[in-house]
């Protein structure tokens, strides 16, 4: 068993921080469901503004609210407006991650979804592992090597 990324919310902005609350992160339920994050699932949180890295568990917020609220001690690591990355993980075998195809949402400044990405791990004909990053946005500047990027309707292999 190895640890793999299972889901990611990339560039979501913190909408509030509530120090006097038991620890967790409250995220719009629609966002969670879109990538497969479950209630009470532990996630890693990486603050792009400060570099802080923490882990906590997910609470579903109001569907359609675009909320991302750090609660309890986690509230000390992020300020309202900070851009963060939230990543779920899974322990599994490589063949499981091949079938999972982890999903990623990319967010704009108002927590609107600006791209939907999936990571696709596959075996080449010689059996070696390879991957593609499937994006709905053709001209993105995410830093993925061009050799990994594919778009809807593009044959991956």
- In the set 21, 57, 65, 142, the catalytic residue is 57
End-to-end Cα spacing for the chain: 26
Taking the C-alpha atoms of residue 45 and residue 53, their distance in angstroms, rounded to an integer, is 6
Q: Is 56 annotated as a binding residue?
A: yes
Q: Is 35 exposed, middle or buried (0-12, 13-18, 19+ CB in 10 A)?
A: buried
55 classed as catalytic: no
24 classed as catalytic: yes
Q: If we measure between CA atoms, which residue out of 2, 35, 1, 12 comes closest to residue 117? A: 35
Q: Is 74 annotated as a binding residue?
A: yes
Q: Is 72 annotated as a binding residue?
A: yes
Q: Is 73 annotated as a binding residue?
A: yes
Q: What is the 3-state secondary structure (H, E, C) of 56-74?
A: EEEEEECCCCCCEEEEHHH
- In the set 4, 6, 21, 24, the catalytic residue is 24
| Binding-site residue set for substrate | 56, 72-74
| Binding-site residue set | 56, 72-74
Query: Which of the residues are catalytic?
Result: 24, 57
């Amino acid at each position: 068993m190895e640890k793999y990324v299972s889901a990611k919310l990339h560039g979501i902005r913190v909408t509030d921080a509530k120090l006097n609350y038991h620890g967790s992160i409250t995220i719009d339920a629609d966002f969670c469901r879109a990538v497969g994050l479950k209630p009470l699932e532990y996630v890693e949180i990486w603050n792009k503004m400060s570099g802080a890295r923490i882990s906590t568990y997910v609470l579903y917020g109001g569907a359609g609210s675009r909320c991302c609220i750090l609660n309890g001690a986690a509230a000390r690591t992020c300020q309202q407006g900070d851009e963060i990355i939230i990543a779920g993980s899974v322990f599994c075998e490589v063949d499981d991650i091949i079938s999972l195809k982890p999903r990623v949402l990319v967010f704009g400044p108002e927590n609107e979804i600006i791209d939907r990405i999936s990571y696709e791990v596959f075996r080449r004909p010689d059996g070696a592992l390879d991957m593609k990053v499937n994006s709905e946005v053709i001209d993105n500047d995410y830093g993925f090597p061009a050799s990994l990027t594919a778009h809807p309707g593009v044959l991956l292999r």
